[in-house]
Structure 1
């Protein structure tokens, strides 16, 4: 600890609940189990930024949301500089919160497009996601919570951009495997639910769920009769892994020019048989109208391009020191909550007729917490079922009606 004590972080700390004179509050954006998000204007440049506030520890025996997930999010996120990854800018300390300053994306979540976009529009956003994921994987990072709700839309340029965010469940994998059962029920890969190691292929499953949901307007493995029951969703994913479900994608799975072909390869139960990131880049459907600014990321070690240099940055040593202080009990035992956050509205969880998307990790499931009812003692369905979706006729019809119940049963 001694070397870190000498690191100067005075310009990134505040004795009250404000971010300091460089930041002008604009509005509340939303709140979740982690804390809340607000937008600010960074006065030196006039740029708008988003700030996630996470409550600091106040007493040595107090539970706090500032856990290893937060540290992982910050350390992994700050090393990523890509036009389709929300940029991490800096960490700051207020009297009661750790504040994570990030690039602002004002277009909302990609989830808002689910079931409401054409095939061409779905492909356009999916190309952005694959460009970002190629880069993230090349950095040795497995995201482990890729989803529409963790992908934001930025409308500041000539065309909207999809940008991946929220690396709270991410893991740096070189030389190792992931083991923890973490993620979001509707998007979680089958191998994550097994008692075995897993790797980058879990993200490929999740982008398959994203693409399916964008086009159909429903999560592929939720039960329409119990759409909000995540225990049932997990049961169905495990059943699929054990060949008790047959996934039939929208479109033609046998036509390489059809989205059904790509979905069938992405939503393959066994990770060793699943499409890789390289397979997606080579797929004919994916390559239709592929923008040049996306195509360059097929070789993900390419340098980040045209990133805004005027936004605030800080040294890694300063970030680590701020995280240390935020996790340590504060000296004055200040009560949680920044002034005026009672009016915050909204949240980070998506909700479709196909089921609510619930984030969880293994600790929650084992300690009887908010998601404790899931457990891992999953009872498999007795008989195989074919999981099918309406055929797609043309680009304009691919945004399925959100109120249409997918077909089930052998056909």
Structure 2
């Protein structure tokens, strides 16, 4: 453990483990404020150079995104020969995965509130030329005040806002990955909008729009992209919510909404209050 880290923060109990590291609760003896500390032992990285790239990339991206209210804030970085430590916002409550895994649908106002904060985070990323590329409920946390925080930028990539902004590489998670990623083609930042649309579908229905017995079957379903709204599940869901879903989970990325366009959609502006949408029309 870095001596400078130990002099600045007191590490407490373990909060969780990820692919590369362990997350601890910590606090500053000087201020009494609580934080999270993600500690990554460099020996846990494989020989694959992409592992090291992820380790180098995430803190740089979090520093660049500092100030966006819905992105996990990075406060300090400590590094020595053996470890990398990142001190961030403390998000020790349920993440979105915990909430959606219950299978209980959200109300439209509840889903709209979560999606709005998520799209603000994604919009911040895209405006700075960053695509997250692994938007999923596990990476959507909530701080002690209940504010949404988008986390885990290990798969993120810079795409540049002034050029064509195309990326390559198959990254992401079954259920949430966009079809153009699976096709092995070049793609743009709208892969994040597809993933957020899948999350919205799950919040409203309790089930994913594309699934199979395993990853291979799920990927096949994603590639088909046959978006359906079963009447027994979506009977009470408003036409406005379905309209937004169709425009986010759209196989043609050129017709898919951007993050900013999602934020301007009437269903988001109304807070999921369909009566308000009707009044506007």
TM-score, normalised via structure 1 length: 0.59
Is residue 55–residue 66 contact of structure 1 (8 Å, CA) maintained in 2? no
Aligned to 1:154: 143
Aligned twin of 1:72: 57
| Correspondence 1:269-288 to 2 at 5 A | 269-288=251-270
Q: Which has the higher contact order (CA 8 A, sep 6+)?
A: 1
Kept in 1: contact 2:249–2:256 (CA 8 A): yes
Further displaced range: 135-144 or 117-126 = 117-126
User: Which one of the candidate residues 217, 222, 226 is aligned to 1:237?
Assistant: 222
Secondary structure of 2:133's aligned partner:
coil
Distance 1:94 1:196 in 2: 39
Please state how far the C-alpha of 1:209 moved relative to its aligned partner.
0.8
- What does the per-residue CA deviation read over 1:36-76, in whole Å, with 9 as the maximum and x for residues that have no partner? 111101222211111111122499x9668851112121111
Aligned partner of 1:389 in structure 2 is: none
Distance 2:47 2:181 in 1: 30
Is structure 2 residue 124 aligned with structure 1 residue 135? yes
**1:264 equivalent in structure 2:** 246
Where 1:28 maps in the other structure, the secondary structure is strand
Contact 1:248 1:264 in 2 (8 A): no
Aligned residue runs from structure 1 range 222-233, under 5 A: 222-223=211-212, 226=213, 229-233=214-218
SS of the residue aligned with 1:25? strand
Q: 1:209 and 1:29, CA in 2 relative to 1: closer, same or farther beyond 3 A?
A: same
Question: Is the partner of 2:22 in helix, strand or coil?
Answer: strand
Mind listing any 5+ residue stretches in structure 1 that lack a counterpart? 1-12, 291-393, 395-411
* SS of equivalent residue, structure 1 residue 21: helix
Shift in alpha-carbon separation, 1:138–1:246, aligned structure 2, 3 A: closer
What are the Cα deviations for residues 267-311 of structure 1, in whole angstroms up to 9, with x where unaligned? 111111212223212211111148xxxxxxxxxxxxxxxxxxxxx
**Larger proportion of helix:** 2
1: CA distance between counterparts of 2:201 and 2:111?
9
1:171-320 matches, within 5 Å, as 171-174=157-160, 175=163, 176-223=165-212, 226=213, 229-240=214-225, 245-248=226-229, 251=234, 258-289=240-271
Answer yes or no: is 1:14 the counterpart of 2:2.
yes
Distance 1:120 1:275 in 2: 21
Is the alpha carbon distance of 1:251 and 1:279 closer, same or farther for their aligned partners in structure 2, counting shifts above 3 Å?
farther
Structure number with larger C-alpha Rg: 1
Aligned residues of 1:26 and 1:38 also touching (Cα < 8 A): yes
For 1:234 and 1:216, the matched residues in 2 are separated by 20
Question: Which consecutive residues of structure 2, in runs of 5 or more, have no partner in the other structure?
Answer: 276-281
Query: Residue deviations 1:297-348, cap 9 Å, x none?
Result: xxxxxxxxxxxxxxxxxxxxxxxxxxxxxxxxxxxxxxxxxxxxxxxxxxxx
Q: Tell me the alpha carbon deviations over residues 353-404 of structure 1, each in whole angstroms, 9 at most, x when there is no partner.
A: xxxxxxxxxxxxxxxxxxxxxxxxxxxxxxxxxxxxxxxxx9xxxxxxxxxx
CA distance in 1, matches of 2:138, 2:199: 9
